[in-house]
Amino acid sequence: MSGLKRDWTGSAKQRDGPKPVQKQVARNAYTPMFEQLRNELDEHHDRRERIVKASRDITGLAKKIIFSLQRVRRIEGQLPANIQAEVDSRLAEIAKLLATLAPEIQGINRYRYARSLMCLEELVEALTFAHYLKTQTLIGYEQLSRVVEDLARQAAAPPAPAPGTEDEVMTDVRDTPAASPPEKPTQPAAQTPSSTPTISLTQDDYLYGVFDLTGEMMRFATTSTALTGTMAGGGGEGDGGEDDDPRTIVQDMHELGSFFEMLPVAPGNRFAWEKKLTVTRQSVQKVERLGYDRIIRGSERPKGWIPDLAAGERGQAEELE
């Protein structure tokens, strides 16, 4: 026999007896007030818990989208079909989560739980990166905001969306910007009732997401240069292939870097801003270095100049091209 509990006199205590009645908290004049406040606080805590959970899931999905996108090797109007399919299915899942989240963060609650909504930064990162890979441009704040709003709305709308609605969100990102951007996103919005709660992006969500975009662009530049031997950039499908000097990702990184250097520090969290800016500077310099390396020993060397070094590498690169 083991596990017998005894009281101080040594006689065995009864196990599994009826549970002692839960001690009633002594009531006093203030108890009702505290009970009312407790209910209010519980509501707040429960809501935050739900938001944190959904946010974590969305972050995970957005990260997976980014990993899929990192398997892309060049900037062109259309993502490879298999990657596009992966991105679409993840986005559909994100849309569902956003739709469950939307009613919780309406009005005053949008900023109340802003710190629990880090997922939006991650989503911005994924969407801006996808947009960049297709168009070699940075999607604007308002345009992206509409994309996210439509994502949340489309899954929330109970009637089955018109065929192709899901694709439309992605076409916003996929379309070449040669078509005028403002008219596109209005269509899905018009189909759904405007009363459907949706999720608005704050400017901070956007800016911090774009900060992270520079890191993804750096990784993309590194792998694509290493594997294709060319610097990712213009000359892809659609846009001015005849331009004598198509823009490369090096110039894009420079422009993005200066963009952040010129912006005044956002006053919300200066520390976070400075940290992100430092990382961005490092990413810019890494891509710079890539551009330099490619000029020095790259395959697109000036005519007539044949480096003795890295000859093998060059041959390989030319094959790939």
Partner 1 sequence: MAPPMIDPSLFDQLKAKIEEDTSVRKELDQILDDLNEHVSFTQGVLSRIHATPRSKYAALLEQVEGGIRKEIETVGRLATFASQYPYYKYNYKWTRTVQDAISTVILCAWLGGMSSETKPGEVGRLLTLEDMGELFGVPVNLKDRDAFHITIEEYLLGLISVIDELGRLSVNSVTLGDNAMAVQISGFIKDLHAGFQVLNLKNDTLRKRVDSIKYAVKKVEDVVYDLSLRNLIPPQEDK
Binding residue (CB under 8 A) for partner 1 from 92, 157, 266, 279: 266
Q: How many other C-beta atoms lie within 10 A of the C-beta of residue 83?
A: 18
Minimal distance, residue 101 CB to partner 1, in Å: 16
Residue 112 vs 301, nearer CB to partner 1? 112
Smallest gap from residue 295 Cβ to partner 1 (A): 20
- Looking at beta carbons only, is 77 or 161 nearer to partner 1? 77
Tell me whether residue 65 or residue 206 sits nearer to partner 1 (CB atom).
206
Question: Which CB, 137 or 191, lies closer to partner 1?
Answer: 137
237 or 318: CB nearest partner 1:
237
Q: How crowded is the C-beta side of 58, counted as CA atoms within 13 Å?
A: 30
Check residue 34 for interaction with partner 1 (CB under 8 A): yes
Interface with partner 1 includes 259 (CB under 8 A)?
A: yes
**Binder of partner 1 out of 63, 73, 110, 297 (CB under 8 A):** 110
Which CB sits closer to partner 1, 52 or 189?
A: 52
CB 206 within 8 A of CB 144: yes
268 binds partner 1 (CB under 8 A): yes
Count CB neighbours of 265 within 10 A. Answer: 11
Does 251 bind partner 1 (CB under 8 A)? Our answer is yes
Q: What is the CB-side half-sphere exposure of residue 163 using CA atoms within 13 A?
A: 0
Q: Which residue in 9, 17, 19, 30 binds partner 1 (CB under 8 A)?
A: 30
- Tokens in use for 134? 């297709």
Q: What is the dihedral of CA 9, 14, 15, 17, to 10 degrees?
A: -140
Nearer of residues 141 and 165 to partner 1, judged by Cβ: 141
Q: How many residues bind partner 1 (CB under 8 A)?
A: 51
Contacting range for partner 1; rule: CB under 8 A; set: 10-18, 38-46, 51-59, 165-173 = 38-46
Long-range residue pairs from 223-229, CB within 8 A, at least 24 positions apart, any chain: 223/70, 223/73, 224/72, 224/73, 224/74, 225/290, 225/294, 227/73, 227/320, 228/73, 228/74, 228/317, 228/320, 228/321, 229/298, 229/299, 229/313, 229/314, 229/316, 229/317, 229/318, 229/320, 229/321
∠ CA 13-19-20, rounded to 5°: 90
Instruction: Confirm if 300 and 248 have CB atoms less than 8 A apart.
Output: no
Q: Which two tokens stand for residue 242?
A: 């005849």
> Which residues inside 122-161 make contact with partner 1, applying CB under 8 A?
135-138, 140-142
Contact positions toward partner 1, by CB under 8 A? 25-26, 28-31, 33-35, 37-38, 40-42, 45, 107-112, 114, 135-138, 140-142, 177-178, 203, 207, 234, 239-240, 243, 246-247, 251-252, 255-256, 259, 262-268
